[in-house]
C-alpha cells in the first residue's frame, strides 16, 4: 500500500480558517468578473471569456449551500476527465461525500486527530468534525497508480493533478467556489482505506465545493518575470 508521508506537515485548515473569508466572492450565474493584467495586476481586458474564467479563478473559503446540482457535478467531473493523460491510463479517481455521509467522515477526522495526540481528550479535537461540513460537497481526489514502461508514476500523479485543476476551473465557471486541501489526515492509512481507495491508489486531497459565503477581492498573480525565462542556448566555445 502506498502511504507516503509528507516531508513537512502541510498547512491545515483545522479551524476552517475563517481568515480566508476576505478572499471569497458571491456565486454568480454569469461569467466571473474580468480581472486586469497589465504588469500582472488584475487587468484582463483582452482575454476571451473562457480565458477570463481561468484568470479570475481563486480558491474560495468559507463555503456554504448551495452546492452544485447533479447535472453541474456531472459537468465538473466531465471537465476532470478531459485532463491530459499520458498513455490513456485514466488515473483519476473521485469520491463524492455529500449530505449525511459527511457525518461519519467528520467522526473519522476526529478519530485520526485523537490517534495523533493520544494524551489529549477527545474534546480537544471535536472541532475537526466541522471540516467535513465545511462545504456542501467534498470530493476526495485520488490517483490510481500502476507500473507502466513509458509512463512513470510522477506523470500519472500529474494527470490526476491536472484533472483536479480542471475541476476547480469548472467549479468557478459554474459560479461556485472550490478549495483544494490536504493536511495530515490525507496521509493517514485509515482515511485512505475508509474512503475505499485501493492499495495502489493514492489520496491527493479534498476539493471542498460550494457557494462562497462572502465576497472577495480580485485574485492577484505572482510576477511573470520571476517564473518565466527564455532559454539561452549554450554558446559554442
Ligand X SMILES: Cc1cc2nc3c(=O)[nH]c(=O)nc-3n(C[C@H](O)[C@H](O)[C@H](O)COP(=O)(O)O)c2cc1C
The contact set with ligand X (CB under 6 A) reads 10-13, 58-59, 179-183, 205, 219
CA–CA dist 29, 74 (Å, integer)? 17
Query: Least distance (Å) from ligand X to the CB of residue 183?
Result: 4
Query: Least distance (Å) from ligand X to the CB of residue 194?
Result: 19
Query: Least distance (Å) from ligand X to the CB of residue 163?
Result: 12
Tell me whether residue 177 is exposed, middle or buried, using C-beta atoms within 10 angstroms of its C-beta: 0 to 12, 13 to 18, 19 or more.
Answer: buried
CA dihedral 188, 8, 201, 118 (to 10 degrees): 0
Query: Least distance (Å) from ligand X to the CB of residue 11?
Result: 5
CB nearer to ligand X: give 67 or 183: 183
Q: Are 101 and 53 in contact (CB under 8 A)?
A: no
CB nearer to ligand X: give 58 or 136: 58
Tell me whether residue 150 is exposed, middle or buried, using C-beta atoms within 10 angstroms of its C-beta: 0 to 12, 13 to 18, 19 or more.
Answer: exposed
CB nearer to ligand X: give 11 or 74: 11
CB nearer to ligand X: give 4 or 233: 4
Angle at 172 between CA 179 and CA 57, to 5 degrees: 75
Query: Least distance (Å) from ligand X to the CB of residue 127?
Result: 16
CB nearer to ligand X: give 82 or 217: 217
Amino acid at each position: 500500500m502506498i502511504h507516503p508521508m509528507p516531508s513537512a506537515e502541510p498547512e491545515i485548515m483545522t479551524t476552517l480558517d475563517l481568515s480566508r473569508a476576505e478572499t471569497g466572492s458571491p456565486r454568480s450565474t454569469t461569467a466571473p468578473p474580468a480581472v486586469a493584467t497589465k504588469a500582472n495586476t488584475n487587468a484582463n481586458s483582452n482575454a476571451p471569456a473562457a480565458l477570463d474564467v481561468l484568470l479570475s479563478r481563486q480558491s474560495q473559503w468559507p463555503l456554504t449551500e448551495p452546492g452544485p446540482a447533479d447535472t453541474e457535478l456531472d459537468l465538473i467531473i466531465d471537465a476532470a476527465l478531459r485532463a491530459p493523460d499520458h498513455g490513456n491510463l485514466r488515473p483519476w479517481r473521485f469520491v463524492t461525500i455529500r449530505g449525511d455521509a459527511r457525518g461519519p467522515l467528520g467522526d473519522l477526522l476526529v478519530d485520526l486527530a485523537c490517534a495523533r495526540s493520544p494524551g489529549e481528550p477527545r474534546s480537544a479535537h471535536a472541532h475537526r468534525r466541522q471540516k467535513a461540513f465545511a462545504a456542501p460537497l467534498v470530493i476526495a481526489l485520488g490517483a490510481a497508480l500502476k507500473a507502466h514502461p513509458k509512463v512513470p508514476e510522477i506523470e500519472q500523479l500529474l494527470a490526476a493533478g491536472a484533472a483536479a485543476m480542471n475541476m476547480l476551473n469548472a467549479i468557478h465557471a459554474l459560479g461556485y467556489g472550490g478549495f483544494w486541501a490536504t493536511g495530515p489526515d490525507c496521509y493517514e492509512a485509515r482515511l485512505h482505506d475508509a474512503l475505499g481507495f485501493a492499495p495502489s491508489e493514492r489520496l491527493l486531497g479534498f476539493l471542498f465545493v460550494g457557494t462562497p459565503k462572502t465576497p472577495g477581492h480580485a485574485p492577484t498573480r505572482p510576477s511573470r518575470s520571476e517564473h518565466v525565462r527564455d532559454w539561452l542556448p549554450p554558446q559554442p566555445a
